[in-house]
Structure 1
Amino acid sequence: TADRVFLTEAQLQEAEHWMRMDVMRRTGLARDNLFIRRIWTRVAVGAAAAVAMAFGIWLYRDMTRPNTPYQANTLLIKNDIPPGKNAATITLDNGQVVTLNSNKTAVVIESSQLQYDDGTAIKQESMRQDAPDVLSKMYTVETPRGGQYQIVLSDGTKAWLNAASSIRFPRSFAGAKNRRIEISGEVYLEVSKDEAHPFIVRSATQEIKVLGTHFNVNDYADGSPARTTLLEGLVQVSSSQTGSINLEYRTLKPGQQAVISDQKIAVRNANLSGVVAWKDGDFRFENENVTEIMKQIARWYDVEIIYKDNVNDVKLNAAIARNRKLSQVLNMMEKTGEVKFKLEGRKIIVTK
């Protein structure tokens, strides 16, 4: 994967300006301003940010700061930290905790056995057969900071767990009126369709009703608002604390996001590629506050963030693969000239 770069909003606008000039020069239409404006209006909205990201290093080095080459922070490289990896545990209904293989990507849940998605069996103690009902046979999969994993539930529903996340679910949904699970952190779900048995997701601040769809839930206990983003199908989202009754639901359409803060829910359009970038192996931000970016970096690289300066007003545009070492991510952020970093053990010191 080619390196991509972090850009400030001003740098992104300047990059777009130079692309407009280049389009006019190459097409010979520089004097036909009205025609160019019409073309650019159609092209820029959908493509400018994507093109800026795809050619990020070229834009940054050769356009935005042609006379000030960036020198990599060698101290970051010296104290480098590798990226996260596949890592998780599964707690069975008998209390046994199994550490999942980091060389595998997914675990498949079946009523009588556990196996990885390549068919390899998972060693475990004898499974409980005396549980009186399906809801008492609960499993929990948890990822640590710096870990991710995939799960295929007994009904075929697929779940991707981001770092520091969990999902609790029954060994089998057989005999249950509704398919209920509980999550924390960030989980992307592709739910198997079964209109007779609605799929219900619970987190600390919300409940989501599903018939069959693709959606992402982000609900970390880090002070950020809970967000549910719909890619396909139809979901209903309620704002509630666990155990609440008389829930009031808001319906989402594909491309919309429910944002929950202080038990109030707002629906807005979402940047889908940015929301699910983590599942596809990328960090991707558009005009994102540095403090929010650093929360994701902290979870994925299992580091602590310490702020020496106030960076609440710094927003960046970014795209970079999550399999990069920490130094590569931080060096790219430093290229903007907006923030600086110092790495001390597993602590990142952030300054302006």
Structure 2
Amino acid sequence: MEKISPKLLKKYVEGRASEEECLLVEQWLEKEDNLFEDTNADLIYDQVQTASATNSAELWRNFMMRTEEGIRQIKLWWWGTRVVLPLLLLTSLGSIYLLQMEDQSAVVFEQQLLTLEVPKGKSVNLKLSDHTEIWVEGGSKLIYPKQFVLDERRISLEYGHAFLQVAKDPSKPFYLQSDGAQIKVLGTAFDVSNRLGQHTVTVALKEGAVEFSDQKGFLQRMQPGDRLRYNKVDNKLEAFEQYDVANIGQWTAGKLNFSQTQLVDALAQLEDRYQISFKIKDSSLLNLPVTGKFENMPLARVLFLLGESTGLTFKQQEKNILVDR
């Protein structure tokens, strides 16, 4: 079959190709056996598959949890926290009295916290006790209570990437905390990313409304289609822009959508998805905008198409994939 032109491949990657053009490209991709020789992507993909098969089995043996939908394999650490609420009443004479409860004793809340760590190359979907649904991508750590027992709902994304569909309950506001940043919602769907080794927290709102705030007093209200990039090192807003609502959260269905996404962020998503590491040779490429749509593709094909549309090269170098131009 005749080689497909780079212009057509670029149209295909960016989602601008017609149905006939898409079919032509996909048939060509399927039939070309030596497609990835120039980028060593066959070798890359084989290594990814092998790593996934060996490491994942060992990692996931340590993960176990029971949910409403059945048994899911996740790693749990259990600990209880006792919050004793003795209320002290100070009188004008300086005397201290303990406020008596119904049974003359302090009220004690016991809240069991669960920790979920998802290894790279995997993803987990779970429901919280309030029916909030969360999709957690590989390379993430989430802390949440087994049961929400107070008049508010709080969870913490220690690091990683998650998409949340928050159950509506006006009487109990929902808070997600991540690296000093906080997102407050009543009922909404949004995507939040705070990956290890990166300086930014990114939030994209699909529906509803949220308030993003930090410990310094910064507050930004968001509406559907808003995307925010916050520098957690410098404690400042880097970008506040409009984003295609249809693309938010599509990674939960195996789709990767890059729309003028910085190269460093795009590669981070690929690392979490395919359990691989990238090394960018030229730091000036970090902020290179990348656009592309990939649905349930092997890593080798994704790298080939990215290379064709951006002029980048991807080569195996020991345990990393070297990215250059």
TM-score (norm 2): 0.71
* Cα offset, 1:289, TM superposition: 3.5
**Is 1:177 paired with 2:148?**
no
1:270 to 234, 240, 243: 243
Other-structure match for 1:33:
none
User: In structure 2, what residue type is equivalent to 1:277?
Assistant: Q
1:252 to 222, 228, 248: 222
- Give the gaps of 5 or more residues in structure 1: 16-48, 62-68, 91-96, 102-113
* Cα offset, 1:285, TM superposition: 1.1
Deviations 1:99-135 (A, max 9, x none): 337xxxxxxxxxxxx524543488999x878956556
Deviations 1:271-308 (A, max 9, x none): 23334221221111123343332222122222221233
Other-structure match for 1:119:
70
Task: Give the Cα separation in 1 of the matches to 2:153 and 2:273.
Answer: 30
Other-structure match for 1:30:
none
The verdict on how the C-alpha distance between 1:326 and 1:263 changes in structure 2, with shifts beyond 3 A counting, is: same
Matches within 5 A, 1:97-246: 99-100=62-63, 114-120=65-71, 134=109, 136-174=111-149, 176-183=150-157, 184-238=159-213, 240=214, 244=215
Other-structure match for 2:269:
296
Matches within 5 A, 1:313-324: 314-321=288-295, 323-324=296-297
- Give the gaps of 5 or more residues in structure 2: 27-31, 84-107
Structure having the larger proportion of residues in strand: 2
Indicate the SS of the match to 1:329: helix
* Cα offset, 1:258, TM superposition: 2.4
The verdict on how the C-alpha distance between 1:149 and 1:249 changes in structure 2, with shifts beyond 3 A counting, is: same
Matches within 5 A, 1:43-122: 50-52=15-17, 57=22, 72-74=35-37, 75-80=40-45, 81-82=48-49, 99-100=62-63, 114-120=65-71
Indicate the SS of the match to 2:294: strand
The verdict on how the C-alpha distance between 1:88 and 1:197 changes in structure 2, with shifts beyond 3 A counting, is: farther
Task: Give the Cα separation in 1 of the matches to 2:177 and 2:304.
Answer: 38
* Cα offset, 1:350, TM superposition: 1.7
The verdict on how the C-alpha distance between 1:59 and 1:51 changes in structure 2, with shifts beyond 3 A counting, is: farther
Other-structure match for 2:252:
279
Identity of aligned residues (%): 22
* Cα offset, 1:197, TM superposition: 0.8
Task: Give the Cα separation in 2 of the matches to 1:88 and 1:140.
Answer: 19
Deviations 1:30-75 (A, max 9, x none): xxxxxxxxxxxxxxxxxxx6443866656879xxxxxxx9962233
**Is 1:339 paired with 2:312?**
yes
Q: CA RMSD in A?
A: 4.1
Contact 2:206 2:225 (8 Å CA) reproduced? yes
* Cα offset, 1:78, TM superposition: 3.4
* Cα offset, 1:198, TM superposition: 0.5
* Cα offset, 1:140, TM superposition: 1.0
Number of matched residues?
281
The verdict on how the C-alpha distance between 1:307 and 1:136 changes in structure 2, with shifts beyond 3 A counting, is: same
* Cα offset, 1:251, TM superposition: 1.3
Contact 2:205 2:224 (8 Å CA) reproduced? yes
The verdict on how the C-alpha distance between 1:290 and 1:251 changes in structure 2, with shifts beyond 3 A counting, is: closer
* Cα offset, 1:344, TM superposition: 4.1
